[in-house]
């Protein structure tokens, strides 16, 4: 149970903008345990997005290593990293990242197609996922016909549809009000409890902290406490 699924050691990330260099991450060490909900918190600009992108193999660190199930990721080619993301990871973003001209059902279907989910099981899987986020009756709606919270829950349904091991969520509640935000976070909680998923989530909302198993606080690119 206490298996470490993702580990980052000595992670550094610099951004050069003009003359000056911003140290967005400074020698960060982090471990994510399987089957837990981990929250990265911190003020805006603290480096949360940078860190979660590096952990999620979207971005590469300038120094340090990221391990997924003890496999080093930054030495992989772009294509291999695409594969890792496609099969093992799911993503939820701050902006409502559904494909606007696909219905809720189709958005999930697309994810299944992308990860080669067996064609015969797709339909039932989509329905399961919709049920899991409590939106079975919204299958044929377009993202624009959903409220912000509903759309974000569909995004979660999409991110878990292909049964990934880890879900990365960068400020999934950022565009939502507190009530809807809680709804979304509760979905994550139940996923961790019932589906044994691992969730890594960033937020700057202090109200969310109680539900997390682990909380890391970032400040100026460093983890300040555990």
Partner 1 sequence: MLQMLYKKIKKNFWMVLCLIIGASMAVSLVSSVPIYTKGILTRVLSTDLKKMQYEDKVFPGAYCITKNMENIKKDDIKESYDTINPVIESKIIPDIGLPVLSKKVIFKTADDLNIVNTHDDVVRNMRVEGISDFENHIEIINGKSLKDSSSESGVYNALISQRTAKNMDLYTGKTYELQCEDNPKLTKIKVVGIYKYKDENDPYWQLEDWEHSDSFIINFDDFNNKFIKNESFSLSEITWYTAFDYSKMNLNNVKAIKSAYEKQASLINDKYDAAASFLVSDKLDDYINKESKLQNILMIFQVPIIIMVIFYMIMISTLIIDRDKNEIAILKSRGADKKQILKIYLCESLFVSLIALIIGPPFGMFCCKVMGIPSGFLKFNDRLPITVSLTKTEYLYSIIILIIFIAAMMIPALNASKVSIVEYKQSKVRKSAKPLWQRFYLDIAFLLVSLYGMNNYFGRQNIVQITGVDSSSIPIDPIIYLIFSLFVLSLGMLFLRLYPHIINIIFHIGRKRWSPSSYISLNNVKRSDGKNQFIMIFLIFTISIGLFSISSAGTINNDLENNIKYMCGADVKLKSFWTPINAKTAESKKVPLIYVEPDYKIYKELKGVKSSCKVFSSKDGVININSRDIGKTFVMGINPYEFGKTAWFPQNLLYPSFNYYLNLLSQSKSNVLISNNLMESNDVKVGDLVYIKWGNSRMIPCVVAGSINYWPTFNPSEYLSSDFVVGNLDYFQYRMPLEPYEVWLKLKDANSLNLLYKDIKDKNLEFQYIDSMEDKITKEKSDPTLQGINGTLTLSFIATLIITAIGFLIYWILSIKARVLQFGILRAMGMSLKKLIKVLINEQILISGVSILMGFIIGNISVKIFSPLVNIMADKSEQILPSGIIPISNTESINMGIGILSMILIGLLILSRYVSKIKIDQALKLGED
Ligand X SMILES: Nc1ncnc2c1ncn2[C@@H]1O[C@H](COP(=O)(O)OP(=O)(O)O)[C@@H](O)[C@H]1O
Q: Reduced to 3 DSSP states, what percent helix, strand and coil does the chain have, rounded to the nearest 5?
A: 40, 30, 30
Using rule CB under 6 A, residue 17 touches ligand X = yes
Q: Using alpha carbons, select from 59, 75, 57 the residue that is nearest to residue 6.
A: 57
Closest CB to partner 1 among 101 and 178?
101
- Contact between residue 162 and residue 83 where contact means Cβ atoms under 8 Å apart: no
Is 50 a residue that touches ligand X (CB under 6 A)? yes
Task: Report if residue 22 touches ligand X, rule: CB under 6 A.
Answer: yes
Q: How far is CA 75 from the centre of its chain?
A: 22
Nearer of residues 48 and 158 to ligand X, judged by Cβ: 48
Nearer to partner 1, 14 or 142 (CB): 142
Q: How far is the CB of 173 from partner 1 (least distance, A)?
A: 13
Compute the distance between CA of residue 131 and CA of residue 94 in angstroms, rounded to an integer.
22
Report the nearest approach of partner 1 to the CB of residue 2 (Å): 28
DSSP 93-105: -SS--S-TTS-HH
Q: Assess 39 for contact with ligand X (CB under 6 A).
A: no
Residue 20 or 120 having the CB closest to partner 1? 120
172 touching ligand X, by CB under 6 A: no
In three-state secondary structure terms, 46 is coil
Q: Check residue 46 for interaction with ligand X (CB under 6 A).
A: yes
Interface residue with ligand X among 24, 96, 169, 208 (CB under 6 A) is 24
């Amino acid at each position: 149970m206490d298996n470490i699924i993702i580990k980052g050691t000595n992670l550094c990330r610099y951004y050069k903008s003009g003359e000056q260099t911003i140290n967005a991450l400074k020698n960060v060490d982090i471990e994510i345990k399987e089957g837990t909900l981990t929250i990265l918190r911190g003020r805006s600009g603290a480096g949360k997005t940078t860190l979660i992108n590096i952990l999620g193999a979207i971005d590469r660190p300038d120094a340090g290593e990221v391990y997924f199930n003890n496999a080093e990721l930054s030495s992989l080619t772009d294509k291999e990293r695409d594969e890792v993301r496609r099969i093992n990871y799911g993503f939820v973003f701050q902006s409502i990242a559904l494909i606007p001209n696909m219905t809720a059902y189709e958005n999930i279907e697309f994810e299944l197609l992308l990860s080669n989910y067996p064609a015969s099981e797709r339909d039932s899987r989509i329905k399961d996922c919709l049920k899991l986020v409590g939106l079975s009756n919204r299958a044929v709606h377009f993202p624009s016909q959903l409220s912000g919270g509903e759309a974000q829950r569909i995004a979660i349904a999409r991110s878990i549809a292909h049964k990934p091991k880890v879900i990365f969520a960068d400020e999934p509640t950022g565009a939502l009000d507190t009530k809807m935000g809680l709804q979304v976070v509760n979905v994550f909680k139940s996923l961790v409890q019932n589906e044994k998923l691992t969730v890594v989530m960033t937020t700057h909302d202090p109200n969310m902290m109680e539900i997390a198993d682990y909380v890391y606080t970032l400040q100026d690119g460093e983890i300040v406490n555990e």
